Amino acid sequence: MSGLARKLAAVGASTAMLATMAAGLLATPAAAASGSTTQAGKTASSSSATPRPAVSVSKTKASPSHSDECPTRVTFSSRIKVKAYGGKTTVAYRWLRGNGSKSAVKTVVLKGKGVKYVTAKESSTFKGGDLKGWQALQVLAPRKVTSAKGYFKVSCGDEGDDDKYVVNTHTVGAQAWVDERNCEATLIGRITASGTRWVRYQWVVNGRVVDRDAVRVYGSRKVYHVIRPHESLRGWAVLQILSPGDASSNRAYFKIWCRDSSPKVSASVNAPSNYEGDCPVTRTFTGTISASHGRGEVKYRWIRDGVAGGWQSVYFDGRGYGHQSRSVSDSWTASASGTSRRSIEIYGGPTSGTVEGKVTCKAAPPASKAWIQAGTSVKQVEAGCPAGSVTGTGSIYATGPIKVTVTWSLNGSVVKSEDLEFTSEGTKSVSFTSASDGLKAGNARLGIVGGGSTTLDYEAVCVKATDKSAEAKDA
């Protein structure tokens, strides 16, 4: 199946599905429940007082508008001009194609007032054949207006183009049936040609192109497409020949019935592994929000130790038609030993099982301390009187790893400062020597910055001249 076959989302995202999503488990809760800032009290009359924005759209441009090389990628572009009057203005638009198909509706929200511009682009790749066509941009909101058509032409047929091979437009057909057990429909088409050649075709379901491919036809060939919308759906399908020639089958009508079309939404939570170590520590719970199919917003909230948190949301785009999931997380910071529990509640839906995480905080080891041991000594000696010299010794003991600053002060003035770093329990010796006045007594102080200290006195070691005269007279 081609890559474009996977664009079944064009069918799956039909109006019926959107209505189901809005009414089902994926519905957005009321503003009062979710804490939305929408002003529910605003009346229709107050909003209708604002003029409708003026809208215009430029002519669609095809680039390149003509090509004789394949594959060729043609880009269509148009510019929407909106004169807004404030608030939020939603611009909705889609592409109209010359083969009768239409693109999915896209929306853009413009904020504020004044002239705003939206540039819309769409590209298609053509692998071969001769094809002429056009596209136009149709604005649906806030006013409906359609651009002028942008025409293009691709001329890159196979080497056998001169042969009279054409697709018999009268024998192109499509059939469809419904398999209610599997909630799907298989479209079967038969392409016939008057010879052997490549034929480009596409399936159109309810006006949307859902698959586009090319096959080599040997007179006649069947092509298939499977619709799996996951919800009840009815409509029609057409098989269109794009090249060579331009033909369409009759409409094949179908009705798909699904027993349970609403999407199933669930949640699960995983707890972090048990932790033992230093605190505080942050642990993270992880959760998964799952949807069976469809697209839309899912509201959920964390239940933390039995207390509900605020509503949050995740969005599912509906791609792939199958199971979708989104990952979410919630953190827990523990400053002390304990257990925390988490679960996830889906708005209007189920609540996951509860899981718990455990933290064990290790006690911090006692801080190391340092102090001055007994045995500190200070003395003054002669140094050519009246000069003297004061020396001191001491010991610092530490109970474990620690860094301290030790100072020696002489008569109130710091004469030495040094850092001692202990890597383990032990003792370090400290000492100092400083010039002094031998005629004077004084004191020396050994201290630990931020810790204890000890002060010792010392005597004068030199005698004054007057004192010596007095001693001589006495003699």
pLDDT in tens, 337-352: 999 999 999 998 899 9
pLDDT score at 43: 39
Task: Answer for the pair 361, 274: CB distance below 8 angstroms, yes or no.
Answer: no
Q: What is the CATH number of the domain that holds 99?
A: 2.60.40.3880
Tell me the pLDDT tens digit for each residue of 445-466.
999 998 899 999 999 999 875 5
Please indicate, yes or no, whether residues 200 and 233 belong to a single structural domain of this protein. yes
> Are the C-beta atoms of 199 and 191 separated by less than 8 Å?
yes
Q: State whether 347 and 417 are in the same domain.
A: no
Does the pLDDT at position 3 exceed 50? no
Same-domain pairing of 121 and 183 = no
Give the whole-angstrom CA distance, residue 201 versus residue 172. 11
Q: How far apart are CA 236 and CA 248, in angstroms?
A: 13
pLDDT at 370: 92
Final residue in a domain of this structure, among 361, 396, 431: 361
User: Which CA distances in Å does 397 have to 365, 378, 419, 422?
Assistant: 19, 19, 14, 9
302 and 274 share a domain? yes
Examine residue 355 and state whether it is found in any structural domain, yes or no.
yes
Statement to judge: residues 323 and 375 lie in one domain: no
Judged against a pLDDT cut of 90, whether residue 217 lies above it is answered with: no
Q: Tell me, what's the pLDDT at 466?
A: 58
Tell me the pLDDT band of 276, cut-offs 50, 70 and 90: very high
CATH number of residue 441's parent domain: 2.60.40.10
Domain count, the chain: 4
Q: Say if residue 68 is in the same domain as residue 136.
A: yes
Residue 44 domain flag: no
Tell me what the mean pLDDT of segment 195-201 comes to.
81
Q: Other CB atoms closer than 10 Å to residue 182's CB: what's the count?
A: 12
Distance CA 118, CA 355 (A): 48
Please report which confidence band the pLDDT of residue 25 belongs to, taking 50, 70 and 90 as the band edges. very low
Give the Cβ contact number of residue 38 at 10 Å. Answer: 11
**Looking at 109, 130, 157, which one is the last position of a domain?**
157
C-alpha to C-alpha distance for 225 and 5, rounded to whole angstroms: 7
Whether 432 and 402 share a structural domain = yes
**Residue closest to 190 by CA, chosen among 123, 235, 249, 271:** 249
| Per-residue confidence band for 129, with pLDDT thresholds at 50, 70 and 90 | low
Q: Does the residue 38 lie in any domain?
A: no
| 151 and 218 housed in the same domain | no
52 within a domain of the structure (yes/no): no
Give a yes or no: residue 32 inside a domain: no
Residue after which a domain boundary falls, among 101, 133, 157? 157
**pTM metric for this prediction:** 0.33
| Residue 382 structural domain | 370-465
pLDDT value for 426: 94
Mean pLDDT of 412-440: 93
pLDDT at 77 (0 to 100) = 95
pLDDT in tens, 109-123: 998 888 989 999 998
Same domain? For 458 and 394 the reply is yes
41 domain-assigned = no
- Model confidence at 10: pLDDT above 50: no
Is residue 475's pLDDT more than 50?
Answer: yes
Tokens at residue 171, please? 């024998």
- 247 pLDDT above the threshold of 80: no
pLDDT level of residue 167 (50, 70, 90 thresholds): very low
HSE, side-chain direction, 13 A CA sphere, residue 252: 24
- Model confidence pLDDT, tens digit, residues 311-337: 999 998 877 556 889 999 999 999 999
Domain assignment present for 77: yes
C-beta of residue 403 within 8 angstroms of C-beta of residue 395? no
For residue 220, name the pLDDT band (cuts at 50, 70, 90).
Answer: confident
Say whether pLDDT at 420 is over 80: yes
The verdict on 70 and 141 lying in the same domain is yes
312 plus 276 within the same structural domain: yes
Task: Write out pLDDT tens, residues 58-110.
Answer: 999 999 888 877 777 889 999 999 988 888 899 999 999 887 788 889 999 99
More confident residue, 7 or 374: 374
229 and 151 housed in the same domain: no
In a domain? residue 1: no
pLDDT value at 299 more than 70: yes
Lowest mean pLDDT among 45-54, 192-201, 225-234: 45-54
pLDDT at 355: 96
Other CB atoms within a 10 A radius of the CB of residue 431 amount to 13
Q: How confident is the model at residue 21 (pLDDT cuts 50, 70, 90)?
A: very low
Q: Report residue 213 CA to chain centroid gap.
A: 35
